[in-house]
Chains A and B, each alone.
Chain A
Amino acid sequence: MQTRMIDKQWSEKYSAVGKGPVSTEPCISAEHFELERELIFRRHWINVGRVQDIPEPADYFVRELEMCRTSILVVRGNDNVVRAFHNVCSHRGNTLVWEERGKCPGRFGCGFHSWAYNTEGELAWVPDEENFFDLDKSKHGLTPVHCDIWEGFIFIHLAAEPAETLREFLGGVATQLDGAGFEKMRRLKTYKVEENANYKTALDAQNELYHLPFQHRFTIGDSFLLKDNKYCRFSNVNLYNYHSVWSCEFNPGHVELPTEGLLNRMDSALNNVRMTGRISDFDWYCIFPNMAILLFAGVSGDFFMTYNFWPLAVDRCIWEMRYHFPPAENVGQRLAQEWTVGRLRDTLMEDAFMHEKIQKGLMARARPDMVMQDEEITIRHFHEVFEREMARA
């Protein structure tokens, strides 16, 4: 899709989205944050990982959801089905699994009294079982959590009965990216940074390119196509019921740096893995309420990233970044991938620094709202969806 360097094109395409100021309150109010625990995080699908995190039967990981004051055990059963459970023993509520990830050695045993569960979550063994009163083991398996998978992304839903399926929730995103080829990629790297910022402050700061030629002026160089050589413009914006995507083009006149150029030449690109469903060179999907999926056209193959913003408190979150590339076929290709990761990582380290500066500024309550231009429409949309969902109470 070709970039049209014109002003105010997205508000024309999506005229229902507001143009006025956006309240800072959701990013700084402790009361607001308390309400979000239930209204946002227990009522929507939340991505917790990918199927490649647990490729084999009995593989598991634990996802701490501080926001919901729970810990979720995601396990691939010996029957090869991926399930999610509250990571809580059915006996007296002890936290069952303490490791972040691993392979279940036959059964998950509780450290308190050794109650043991199989990989399908069934209660398999109770020590001194005869001394209990009519204990029905079949009713004391691990408490399941709704779990569904789209294109390898594992989502959970904490409501007793989700109001909509994962597919319905993803809506146009799923339509755009069905069969995109995520499974061709392998996770090369994960970064985590604990930030003194509201998770929405952090997410918003990533959800635009207006800041690119300014905040990242030393680290981005000439990589992106700019209007009048100064300002970023999206080549496309799509807004969905909950989610959004903006896209942009890389600068075709980009001059490679020496090492970058050499690595690109040496990356023999044997596999040249491409994804389908891409809109432009760089597509940035905001997945409500705390995730982003980023698709990139690489020199010798496409790659994708995910962000998950894990709220800890009104002014604290963990930003988790994952990079996925085609499996490198040789050292040259791996080094080229490492260069790409490192280059982006430096800009993300600048972003993480800035998130805290923004949060501090917002919390000063110098102004009650934020002003946004046309290229910030996806942030505006996110906040509108957020308020809509909060009002559903």
Chain B
Amino acid sequence: MTEIALPEPFSDLEPYLAWSIPTERERMVKRIATPMDEIIDFHGEMSKRLEDIIVYLNQYPYAEMPEDARRLCDMALSLVEVCNLVEMYKNPDVLNMVDADRFLPYE
């Protein structure tokens, strides 16, 4: 039997599995390393499904999800990481931020 990466209703999002990243620190790194057009593409496809994703994931406690749901949740967290970049800042070059590898999250 083939391992199913994402819950069945969201299998169309599998091209974006690289955004299923378990920690905030790694999501920050991915955001910085990814060209803006790729971020816009991921944001566009994920945004369309976000409402359905939340409805689906709400059946589980946050800390105890099956693996496929966890992957989907981590993708939603990546959307949360990049959404303001797309919807508000528009251009990452306008941001004068301390390097992400110095600003360390502890969850």
Tell whether A354 pairs with B80 under 8 Å between CB atoms, given A218-B88, A266-B54.
Answer: no
A338 and B97 alpha carbons, distance in the complex (Å): 19
Compute how far the CA of A39 lies from the CA of B94 in the bound complex, rounded to whole angstroms: 42
Which residue from B62, B84, B95, B107 sits with its C-beta under 8 Å from A331?
B62
Which of B5-13, B14-22, B71-79 makes up part of the contact surface? B71-79
Judge whether A218 and B95 touch: CB under 8 Å.
Answer: yes
Assuming the contacts A258-B47, A330-B62, asked whether A349 and B79 have C-beta atoms less than 8 A apart, the reply is no
Q: Is the CB of A331 within 8 A of B96?
A: no
Name the one of A258, A266, A330, A356 contacting B87, with C-beta atoms under 8 angstroms.
Answer: A258
> In the complex, which residues 338-363 of chain A have their Cβ closer than 8 Å to any Cβ of chain B?
338-339, 342-343, 345-346, 348-350, 352-354, 356
Set of chain B residues within 8 Å of A354, measured between Cβ atoms = 96
Contact A334 B62 (CB under 8 A): yes
How many chain A residues touch the partner (CB < 8 A)?
37
Q: Please pick, from A195, A266, A339, A353, the residue contacting B80 in the complex, using a CB distance under 8 A.
A: A339
**Secondary structure call for the A interface:** helix
Contacts of A262 in B (CB 8 A): 47, 50-51
Task: Using A330-B62, A331-B57, A335-B76 as known contacts, say yes or no to A259 and B106 having CB atoms under 8 A apart.
Answer: no
Judge whether A338 and B80 touch: CB under 8 Å. yes
Question: Which residues of A come within 8 Å of B, CB atoms?
Answer: 188-195, 218-219, 221, 257-260, 262-263, 266, 328, 330-332, 334-335, 338-339, 342-343, 345-346, 348-350, 352-354, 356
Listed A/B pairs (14) with beta-carbon separation below 8 Å: A188-B107, A190-B105, A195-B98, A218-B89, A257-B84, A259-B87, A262-B51, A330-B57, A331-B58, A331-B60, A332-B54, A335-B76, A350-B98, A352-B102
Given contact pairs A219-B84, A330-B58, A331-B76, enumerate 18 new A-B contacts (beta carbons under 8 Å): A189-B107, A191-B103, A191-B104, A191-B106, A192-B104, A193-B103, A218-B88, A257-B83, A257-B84, A258-B47, A258-B87, A331-B60, A331-B62, A338-B77, A342-B80, A343-B84, A349-B95, A350-B98
Please report B residues at the A interface, Cβ cutoff 8 Å. Answer: 24, 47, 50-51, 54-55, 57-58, 60, 62, 73, 76-77, 79-81, 83-84, 87-89, 94-98, 100, 102-107
